[in-house]
């Protein structure tokens, strides 16, 4: 599989790399890191990495503007995206000559002439490290830093169960080969505004916990304004409710007036939650899932479904 991907990278002069909407450090680190690695290995290839720019992640590097001429006869590599609907910046994959999928989510849509999907992997950044190590692709320091950040972020600093010996091994090798200044990278990844920290305090104060161990909170636009934060802050905070004895799974419902949706961020430290979110046109991993819902009536339905999953869960 890895060699087939390498051969395709070698074959194409034009390569476009995409990832999921609502980018996070794993999506950005894998796509931008892979671009830098390919350019470092094959100096003449035109590699474009696409998707909506987010100033929050400006330290992860630049994105490219895609022109029609970049698409014609090109190879599309889609990182970290289980379904076609969530590929950022690509509405029709058939415009590309060939497609490769590299992902660590449980599979939703099968696509690509080569599909490397392994939902046991901690992150797609770890998969890009494996791809580079096992082929003639050449890593750069800048790519190594981005891949390091993606791995750290998607494993919750090596805390989640998807972290395994290979995860530590690839990180050890990145640190060994490149003089990575990780305290300064951690600053980029974890620094935040006081407003958001106060908002976190509000959430922790106001969350409801059911007798089955489901914690939930509904966050209105009025509350976001009160704390001077936006709906993306909920996603930055949701993981901080881990390791609380009384809570097995937790869900935030955040009003996003601009997009006209309610963002649903769900995490778990045992019960498998992704099937519930798939019912509501969302998805994700067993212990980290999400959805975007339009109908407010689905809030209580999701709470009920997740509460049942918690009730049925045996520790």
Q: Is 288 in the site for ligand AMP (CB under 6 A)?
A: yes
Distance from C-alpha of 238 to C-alpha of 8, rounded to nearest angstrom: 38
Q: Is 291 in the site for ligand AMP (CB under 6 A)?
A: yes
Q: Is 233 in the site for ligand AMP (CB under 6 A)?
A: no
Give the residue, chosen from 162, 231, 265, 268, that forms a contact with ligand AMP under the rule CB under 6 A. Answer: 265
Q: Is 31 in the site for ligand AMP (CB under 6 A)?
A: no
Give the residue, chosen from 122, 283, 298, 306, that forms a contact with ligand AMP under the rule CB under 6 A. Answer: 283
Q: Is 78 in the site for ligand AMP (CB under 6 A)?
A: no
Q: Is 292 in the site for ligand AMP (CB under 6 A)?
A: yes
- Do 261 and 293 form a contact (C-beta atoms < 8 A)? yes
CB of 280 to ligand AMP, least distance (A): 9
CB of 261 to ligand AMP, least distance (A): 9
CB of 1 to ligand AMP, least distance (A): 22
CB of 28 to ligand AMP, least distance (A): 13
- Do 266 and 249 form a contact (C-beta atoms < 8 A)? yes
Total residues interacting with ligand AMP, rule: CB under 6 A: 15
Q: Please report, as residue ranges, which positions from 7 to 26 form the binding site for ligand AMP (by CB under 6 A).
A: 20, 22
The residues that touch ligand AMP, with contacts defined as CB under 6 A, are: 20, 22, 86, 235, 238, 265, 282-285, 288-292
């Amino acid at each position: 599989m890895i060699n087939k991907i390498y051969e395709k990278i070698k074959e194409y002069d034009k390569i476009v790399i995409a990832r999921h909407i609502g980018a996070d450090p794993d999506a950005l680190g894998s796509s931008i890191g892979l671009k830098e690695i390919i350019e470092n290995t094959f100096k003449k290839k035109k590699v474009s990495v696409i998707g909506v720019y987010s100033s929050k992640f400006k330290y992860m590097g630049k994105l490219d503007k895609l022109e029609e001429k970049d698409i014609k006869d090109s190879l599309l590599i889609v990182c970290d995206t289980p379904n076609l609907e969530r590929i950022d910046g690509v509405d029709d994959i058939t415009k590309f000559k060939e497609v490769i999928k590299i992902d660590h989510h449980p599979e939703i849509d099968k696509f690509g002439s080569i599909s490397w999907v392994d939902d046991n992997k901690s992150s797609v950044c770890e998969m890009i490290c494996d791809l580079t190590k096992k082929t003639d692709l050449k890593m750069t320091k800048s790519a190594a830093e981005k891949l390091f950040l993606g791995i750290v972020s998607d494993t919750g600093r090596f805390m989640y169960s998807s972290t395994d010996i290979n995860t530590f091994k690839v990180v050890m090798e990145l640190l060994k080969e490149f003089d990575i200044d990780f305290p300064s990278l951690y600053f980029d990844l974890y620094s935040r505004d006081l407003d958001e920290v106060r908002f976190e305090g509000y959430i922790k104060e106001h969350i409801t916990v059911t007798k089955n161990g489901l914690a939930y909170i509904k966050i209105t636009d009025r509350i976001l304004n009160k704390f001077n934060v936006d709906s993306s802050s909920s996603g930055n905070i949701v993981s901080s409710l881990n390791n609380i004895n009384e809570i097995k799974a937790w869900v935030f419902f955040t009003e996003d007036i601009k997009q006209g949706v309610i963002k649903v961020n769900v995490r778990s430290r045992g019960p498998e939650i992704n099937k519930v979110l798939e019912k509501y046109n969302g998805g994700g991993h067993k212990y980290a899932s999400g959805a975007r819902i339009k109908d407010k009536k689905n809030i209580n339905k999701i709470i009920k479904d997740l509460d049942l999953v918690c009730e049925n869960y045996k520790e």
